[in-house]
Structure 1
Amino acid sequence: MGRLFWKFFFFIAIAQITATFGVGVLFWIENLERSNRNSEIDLSPPASFMIRSAAATLQFGGPEALRSLINEGRPHRLQLYAVDEENKDLMGREVPPKLVEEARHLLTTERERRSVELVKATNGHSYLMFIPAPNDEFAPPPGPGPGGMPGREPRYMKERGPKPLFFPTMPLAVALVASLVFALLLAWYFSHPIRHLKNAFNQAANGNLDLELEPVMSARNDELADLGRDFDAMTAKLRTLMESQRRLLHDVSHELRSPIARLQMAIGLARVQDRDKLELTLERIERESVRMDKLVGELLTLSRLEANVPGSMEEAIAIQPMLGDMISDANFEAETLGKQVESQIACRVQVQGNPELLYRAIENVLRNAIKHTAPATTVQVVAEIDEVGKLLHLSILDRGPGVPEEEMNSIFELFFRSSRTKSNSAGHGLGLSIARRIVEAHQGSIRAANRPDGGLRVDITLPFMADEPARGETVEA
């Protein structure tokens, strides 16, 4: 059992013991109060019936008739008292003053009027008649009967005797045992899944991310089960990230191996070649160095995007001017290859984000389209505005070989090259991956599809925040 188990058990047990002891003390105080309470008047129906009978007997038969009635009832449980103005009992018995005072008080209340009667007898005395409660330990023993003969002691006085003080030992013991048992079960209920969590975290810390808590805690439906499911989701994400990291290292090493090998070969040739061919070798070395520098730059950009540190994302970017400059540069490059770029970019809106990164993302897609479109064809750039959803839809269409449908979901992955283009492609397969991460960092989306009449279509969707201000207007920060 762990420390948490004993903490749960200790605090719950202390709470239960305190509550049980408090209830026991209340019972004991109540019992003590009852034991010290003065004699009470019997208000039961049999007592009321006997009082009414005694009142009729005294009223119509006189004191002697009542005395005979009391003598006849003395062996029984109900003992009737008849007290005159001087608090003297008709039978000569001693009556506690508090009992008489309570009887006179009940005489004034309408509700208890039938349990206490005040009747004026033929001898001129008024007698207050009442019967003590059967559990009254202060009720005096009966006085002498007619002729001075001692009356018999009431049977209930012999049976009950003096009532002892009572402390609820047995209820306290039962409640204490039950509290401890339930405290034990509750502590086990909470500590058992926590031990599974502790073991799972230890396994994860040691590198084992294959352990899952869902099968172990599937029967539960509480916060601890939710924590177990969150742990499984965390380990699944870590496994994906680690696998992605291993794949990235493998791909990077593979991409760097080729230019490094070519550099080493060029350097070896430079050492043995004459000066006439040395210039060509140096150009080769420079070209491979540029390729490596470009690859490292793209990897650094990708690393920043993966780490969610893309820089400032608070600038207002005017899309139409940015697209105009980009298309102008791209068209110059396309014309040298016998290709063209056409555009429909009437989109005077602003997008919030990082202008340098967003420019690079769109340019990567556009340059990729120019690279793969067929000679003497046109790359189209179309921008549309969705005023209702506040979205900018940008489409870049080419007339290249397209992408096989089974590879369509992979073209935005790292170092991916389509089977239709990788043989003659000089890229590294990072352009579209970087574009996707930049667009997603701007709360947008990017997707690709083959055109029905040949070529590839890449759609970029970005939320825009406002229309572009007209010339001469100032924009408030």
Structure 2
Amino acid sequence: MGRLFWKIFAGFWLTLLLTVLVVTAALVIREEARRSEESVLAAGPRSSIALRMAWTTARHGGEAGLRSLLTNWPEYEGDPPLVVNAAGGEFLGREVPAEVLQIARERYAEWNQLRDSERGGEWRKRSVRAWQDAAGEEWLMFFPQTAARAPERSASISIGRIEAPALLALAALLASLAVSAVLARHFSQPIRKLQDAFLAASKGELGVRVAQVMGRRRDEIGELGREFDGMAQQLQQLVGSQQRLLHDVSHELRSPLARLQVAVGLARQRPAQAEAALARIEREAERLDMLVGEILTLARLEGQTPQRGEDYVDIVELLDSVVEDARFEAEGSERRVVFTTGVEGELVIRARGELLHRAVDNVLRNALRHSPSQSVVELNLSRDVASRALHITIADAGPGVPEAELAVIFEPFHRGETTSGSGYGLGLAIARRAVEAHGGRMWAHNRASGGLEVHIELPPAAAL
């Protein structure tokens, strides 16, 4: 399960928590308001029981029994209840505050209405009771709020105290709406940005990125945004390299085609020199064929993802073959090729043998081309003990490469200031693409003793 699941899960429980909090807050507010209204009258369980005792005594013992009870009221119970008739006279002649009497009458009227309602059970817990004497006169009995009868708070609030049952549904609705709005904004905003980015990319705007919009998101949407940025960057590089390749190819084809046109024109104008013109045409055709072949090879390697090789190749034998061919070509220029290895016996890897052979051969030929006469080109094979990666180095004794050009010598059609000969600047580019197709990497640096040293590193996954 991904992070989106946990966010939705958290949102669900947050909705429940908000619902509980809203309902609890509403109940607490209502309860406090009720207690504030009843602060004039004592309405706790203790007062209710004492009031019921006085009412029962008056009902069964008459005026004499009630008077005896009120006169002999226990001191630890505080003052006895007030007993007031319709005219405002108190049973024992005590003074009754007008505000207390008014609230007692209102409360008694309210409790009478509850007697036959759905909450009829609550009227028995009332703070005001009525008693009729033998003459039929009605007396209200109640306790005024005093220090001895402080408000008694219950430990819990019953859900039944809600005046409107719809309050719970309303609280759940409001909480769910709030959480849904937050989640919708949290999810929809980056999705809209992704939609705009995809639309821009479809129109060719490959420089668009969404990483800044995603921020520090670590869920699936954030991963999707990072994947989009990676895809857009790869497409931008691929399209850019194709555009540069098309520009460079058109530039490189222009010169041999121009020479072909000149040779054809000379053959027509000077029939006596037709043989020399035909020889020139043949050479230019061979050069074009070689150039087109290298361009096709580079085009096939461009944008190719790293993959495991299809063949089992002995890398030592492969390098021996490359060195043997290079030595044969170097004999006429009095250059030598030396192959050293720290690997004993065979070293079989999974690789595309022909492609890897061409990569090493291109680098070695480039080293021979830039090495002076009577010099040595060194090729070394080693294996890192810790990472098990294969390392191939090719070092020459030539003039080297300016530091500013080291980063671009592997670009197609690049020919530096020290480059000589008729090459098209595709050899090192093809070599690097071939190495990268095996999941490896390739770089170069100038040697302290002079010359250039090229490094080829193949990942341990290639070695068995």
Q: Which category describes the TM-score, using the shorter chain as reference length?
A: 0.5 to 0.7
| Aligned ranges 1:24-423 → 2 under 5 Å | 44-46=45-47, 69=68, 135-136=123-124, 145=133, 148-150=134-136, 152=138, 154-155=140-141, 166-168=163-165, 187=184, 190-211=187-208, 213=210, 217=213, 231-232=228-229, 234-274=231-271, 277-308=273-304, 313-345=309-341, 347=343, 348-421=346-419
TM-fit CA distance, 1:359: 0.5
1:345 and 1:384 in contact (8 A); partners too: yes
CA RMSD across the alignment = 4.6
Return closer, same or farther for 1:286/1:210 CA change in 2, 3 Å cut-off.
same
1:344 and 1:383 in contact (8 A); partners too: yes
2:214 and 2:225 in contact (8 A); partners too: no
Return closer, same or farther for 1:393/1:186 CA change in 2, 3 Å cut-off.
closer
TM-fit CA distance, 1:71: 8.0
Q: Which amino acid aligns with 1:449?
A: H
Return closer, same or farther for 1:228/1:343 CA change in 2, 3 Å cut-off.
closer
Measure the CA separation in 1 of the matches of 2:382 and 2:178: 71
Residue aligning to 1:450? 446
TM-fit CA distance, 1:344: 1.7
- Report SS of the residue matched to 2:455: strand
1:350 and 1:464 in contact (8 A); partners too: no
- Report SS of the residue matched to 1:393: strand
TM-fit CA distance, 1:226: 6.3
Measure the CA separation in 2 of the matches of 1:325 and 1:257: 36
Measure the CA separation in 1 of the matches of 2:292 and 2:337: 29
Measure the CA separation in 2 of the matches of 1:290 and 1:188: 64
Return closer, same or farther for 1:65/1:203 CA change in 2, 3 Å cut-off.
same
Structure 2 unmatched ranges of 5 or more: 1-7, 28-42, 72-79, 85-119, 143-159
Q: What's the CA shift string for 1:353-377, capped at 9, x where partnerless? A: 1101010100011111111111222
Residue aligning to 2:100? none
Structure 1 unmatched ranges of 5 or more: 1-7, 28-41, 78-131, 157-162, 469-477
TM-fit CA distance, 1:465: 6.2
Measure the CA separation in 1 of the matches of 2:305 and 2:227: 25
TM-fit CA distance, 1:44: 2.6
1:305 and 1:438 in contact (8 A); partners too: yes
Q: Which amino acid aligns with 2:405?
A: E
Measure the CA separation in 1 of the matches of 2:177 and 2:55: 58
Return closer, same or farther for 1:65/1:222 CA change in 2, 3 Å cut-off.
farther
1:397 and 1:456 in contact (8 A); partners too: yes
Return closer, same or farther for 1:375/1:211 CA change in 2, 3 Å cut-off.
same
TM-fit CA distance, 1:320: 1.4
Return closer, same or farther for 1:231/1:460 CA change in 2, 3 Å cut-off.
closer
Return closer, same or farther for 1:240/1:319 CA change in 2, 3 Å cut-off.
closer
Q: Which structure has the bigger radius of gyration?
A: 1
- Report SS of the residue matched to 2:138: coil
Return closer, same or farther for 1:370/1:143 CA change in 2, 3 Å cut-off.
closer
1:352 and 1:442 in contact (8 A); partners too: no
- Report SS of the residue matched to 2:445: strand
- Report SS of the residue matched to 2:263: helix
Q: Which amino acid aligns with 1:152?
A: E
Return closer, same or farther for 1:269/1:410 CA change in 2, 3 Å cut-off.
same
Measure the CA separation in 2 of the matches of 1:384 and 1:164: 84
Residue aligning to 1:117? none
TM-fit CA distance, 1:440: 1.9
Q: Which amino acid aligns with 2:401?
A: V
- Report SS of the residue matched to 2:257: helix
Measure the CA separation in 2 of the matches of 1:45 and 1:203: 76
Measure the CA separation in 1 of the matches of 2:186 and 2:342: 65
1:412 and 1:433 in contact (8 A); partners too: yes
Measure the CA separation in 2 of the matches of 1:321 and 1:242: 38
Return closer, same or farther for 1:445/1:142 CA change in 2, 3 Å cut-off.
closer
TM-score normalized with structure 2 length: 0.64
Q: What's the CA shift string for 1:442-474, capped at 9, x where partnerless? A: 222222122222221112222456989xxxxxx
Measure the CA separation in 2 of the matches of 1:218 and 1:165: 45
- Report SS of the residue matched to 1:136: helix
Measure the CA separation in 2 of the matches of 1:343 and 1:311: 28
Return closer, same or farther for 1:388/1:211 CA change in 2, 3 Å cut-off.
closer
Residues paired across the two proteins, number: 365
TM-fit CA distance, 1:243: 2.4
Q: Which amino acid aligns with 1:362?
A: V
1:386 and 1:393 in contact (8 A); partners too: yes
Residue aligning to 2:109? none
Measure the CA separation in 1 of the matches of 2:256 and 2:264: 12
Q: What's the CA shift string for 1:379-436, capped at 9, x where partnerless? A: 2222223333313222212122211111111111111111111xx3211111111111
Measure the CA separation in 2 of the matches of 1:186 and 1:314: 49
Identity of aligned residues (%): 39
Q: Which amino acid aligns with 1:373?
A: S
Measure the CA separation in 2 of the matches of 1:63 and 1:76: 13
2:83 and 2:139 in contact (8 A); partners too: no
Measure the CA separation in 2 of the matches of 1:433 and 1:270: 37
1:391 and 1:461 in contact (8 A); partners too: yes
Q: What's the CA shift string for 1:302-343, capped at 9, x where partnerless? A: 222223278871322101111112211111111122322222
1:408 and 1:449 in contact (8 A); partners too: yes
Measure the CA separation in 2 of the matches of 1:465 and 1:205: 36
